[in-house]
Chains A and B, each alone.
Chain A
Amino acid sequence: MVFWRKGVADGANSSALLCDPGARPYATFEEVGMTIGGHQILDNISLSLEEHRIGVIGLNGSGKSSFVRLLNGLRSPSRGTLKLFGQIASDVLKELPRHVGFVFQNPDHQAIFPTVEEEIAFGLTQLGADKRESRDQARRFLDTHGCLHLAGKPIAELSEGQKQLVCILAVLVMKPSLLVLDEPLTSLDALASRRIRHMLLSLPQKIVMVSHHLDHLESFDRILWLEDGTLRMDGTPSQVLPAYQADIDRKFEAVQEAEAF
């Protein structure tokens, strides 16, 4: 289905697009580091991303959110080289939101417009579609995802699961080739979380997802474990997840022993 008219959204600017959405790997980190206010957030990250589903794990403050924010230009490296879709990231910052959809943890801070239809249509207007065109396409898009009944509803009146679903759809309508999700399931109940995960796994887009729920990442192709801003372990879920869990157990026991002492 054509969600926006050729020549409007894809129009004049598309000839100037530099990124190759089909590039493999789609992201290459060469000794990437990031420092914010003198505090080192990421250090010496070198890796390539090309798998379909990649999970990112780590304790709070390990650098996960900063790491994934590099993927759509929300943050820039302080050191090293970051290539996205075959281009140096800093050269294509304006273009990245076309290719990389970003879903945040809190839908209340992500939804910019008050109603579902407006929120979905906003992505299309960002790409150049006019208001009426984007409204029509937003309704069609909602219809293809079985959510047309939500179109006129204020986002404020939706359940947390529905809000997060709307945020994901608002990003998907822009047809990104990569979807980055920063703990998108944290505030959801078990049913809503399962529905969103089921939906995510059925998407054709490549996915990079941060999560504290290890069971959510078991079916992923690759897991990156960040610790203190560095890459502690990189491998398949069967390699990384048990090691991470064992590390948490060890740390917990150490804290217990220290408190007892």
Chain B
Amino acid sequence: MTSIYLPGNSWAHVLPASVKLLFVALMSLILFQAESLLLFIAALLLAVACYASLGNPGLKRLLGLKGLLYIGAIILAFHAWTGTMFEGVTMILRLAAMILLANFVSITTRMDDMLEAIQPMFRPLSWFGLSGRKPALGIALVLRFAPHMLEVYAALQEAYRARTGHRNSWRLIAPFALQSLRMSDNVAEALSARGSAGGMADHLQKPRKNTGNGQ
């Protein structure tokens, strides 16, 4: 089990989650409106500087995102093929800056802070008698379990490689989907055991359907 969050007491950890989220939202708006290559490069350098400010652990997390280079290469190849290389470069720089900044917020923000920061966005749900805590917790859970899913896939790859000598195959998709569903069922059950996503202030809970998980 791995975790996105990088524990620490840096300036970024101390900054309120709402400020960090607002900053990322603002940067996204600017980067999507702008067309300046220099601005994109500056944003990318700013993102890299943010990771560097966390020291070695921060830079290690940055290197952990090198898988994105493959996606970048595919996008670039596509643009080269269509003869729109400049657009391809700007798109990659724009995306890279945004992803790095968003990930930087994730690695420096505790999940309960994140939950508190995003919960107000769902406040309008209360007008319809729905809980804003549930979708907020849902987003937080995605952040929490995304790295775990990658681990599950890596374990499947290892098992496949041990028996076939090949690292990847489309055959891994089905077991991965099944394991993901089983895991989501287990997590939902663990959450229900502690009073469900809405907490125990809400008295509307209905019994969980028997899903056949476990005997």
Contact of A97 among B112, B193, B201 (CB under 8 A): B193
Q: Are B110 and A104 in contact (CB under 8 A)?
A: no
| B193: chain A residues within 8 A (beta carbon) | 72, 74, 97, 101-102, 104, 171
Q: Are A36 and B212 in contact (CB under 8 A)?
A: yes
Q: Are A36 and B211 in contact (CB under 8 A)?
A: yes
What 0/1 readout, one digit per residue, does chain A (104-116) give for beta carbons within 8 Å of chain B? 1010111111110
Stretch at the interface among A22-30, A58-66, A253-261: A58-66
Closest to B143 in A: A114
| B183: chain A residues within 8 A (beta carbon) | 109
What 0/1 readout, one digit per residue, does chain B (186-201) give for beta carbons within 8 Å of chain A? 1101111111100111
Q: Are A108 and B148 in contact (CB under 8 A)?
A: yes
Closest to A12 in B: B201
Count contacts on B: residues with CB < 8 A to the other chain: 40
- Taking each of B192, B194, B201, which has the highest tally of chain A beta carbons within 10 Å of its own beta carbon? B194
The answer to whether the Cβ of A43 comes within 8 Å of any Cβ in the partner chain is no
Stretch at the interface among B2-10, B62-70, B79-87, B94-102: B2-10
The answer to whether the Cβ of B35 comes within 8 Å of any Cβ in the partner chain is no
Q: Are B200 and A98 in contact (CB under 8 A)?
A: yes
Q: Are A153 and B215 in contact (CB under 8 A)?
A: no
Secondary structure dominating the interface of A = mixed
Q: CA separation between A110 and B194, bound complex, in Å?
A: 10
Q: CA separation between A168 and B5, bound complex, in Å?
A: 22
Secondary structure dominating the interface of B = loop
Shortest distance between the CB of A62 and any CB in chain B (Å): 7
Contact of B212 among A37, A78, A110 (CB under 8 A): A37
The answer to whether the Cβ of A127 comes within 8 Å of any Cβ in the partner chain is yes
Q: CA separation between A114 and B113, bound complex, in Å?
A: 12
Contact of A174 among B7, B110, B194 (CB under 8 A): B194
| A109: chain B residues within 8 A (beta carbon) | 183, 186-187, 190
Q: Are A66 and B1 in contact (CB under 8 A)?
A: no
| B116: chain A residues within 8 A (beta carbon) | 131
CB interface residues, A 15-42, toward B, < 8 Å = 16, 34-37, 39, 41
Q: Are A114 and B203 in contact (CB under 8 A)?
A: no
- Taking each of B148, B192, B206, which has the highest tally of chain A beta carbons within 10 Å of its own beta carbon? B192
The answer to whether the Cβ of B50 comes within 8 Å of any Cβ in the partner chain is no
- Taking each of B141, B183, B189, which has the highest tally of chain A beta carbons within 10 Å of its own beta carbon? B189
| A75: chain B residues within 8 A (beta carbon) | 208, 210
Q: Are B194 and A97 in contact (CB under 8 A)?
A: yes
| A39: chain B residues within 8 A (beta carbon) | 212
- Given A114-B3, A114-B111, do A36 and B210 touch, yes or no (CB 8 Å)? yes
| B148: chain A residues within 8 A (beta carbon) | 108
Q: CA separation between A176 and B201, bound complex, in Å?
A: 17
Q: Are B7 and A152 in contact (CB under 8 A)?
A: yes
Q: Are B205 and A114 in contact (CB under 8 A)?
A: no
Q: Are B206 and A93 in contact (CB under 8 A)?
A: yes
Shortest distance between the CB of A86 and any CB in chain B (Å): 19
The answer to whether the Cβ of B207 comes within 8 Å of any Cβ in the partner chain is yes
The answer to whether the Cβ of A211 comes within 8 Å of any Cβ in the partner chain is no
The answer to whether the Cβ of B61 comes within 8 Å of any Cβ in the partner chain is no
The answer to whether the Cβ of B144 comes within 8 Å of any Cβ in the partner chain is yes
Q: Which 3 A-B pairs have the closest CB atoms?
A: A109-B186, A102-B193, A65-B214
Given A115-B5, A127-B195, 20 more A-B residue pairs with CB atoms under 8 Å apart are: A13-B201, A36-B210, A39-B212, A60-B215, A64-B215, A75-B210, A76-B207, A94-B195, A94-B200, A97-B196, A101-B193, A104-B190, A112-B194, A127-B200, A128-B199, A128-B201, A135-B112, A154-B3, A156-B3, A171-B193
B residues at A contact (CB < 8 Å): 1-5, 7, 110-113, 116, 141, 144, 148, 183, 186-187, 189-196, 199-208, 210-212, 214-215
A residues at B contact (CB < 8 Å): 13, 16, 34-37, 39, 41, 60-66, 69, 72-76, 78, 90, 93-95, 97-98, 101-102, 104, 106, 108-115, 118, 121-123, 125-128, 131, 135, 152-157, 163, 170-171, 174, 182
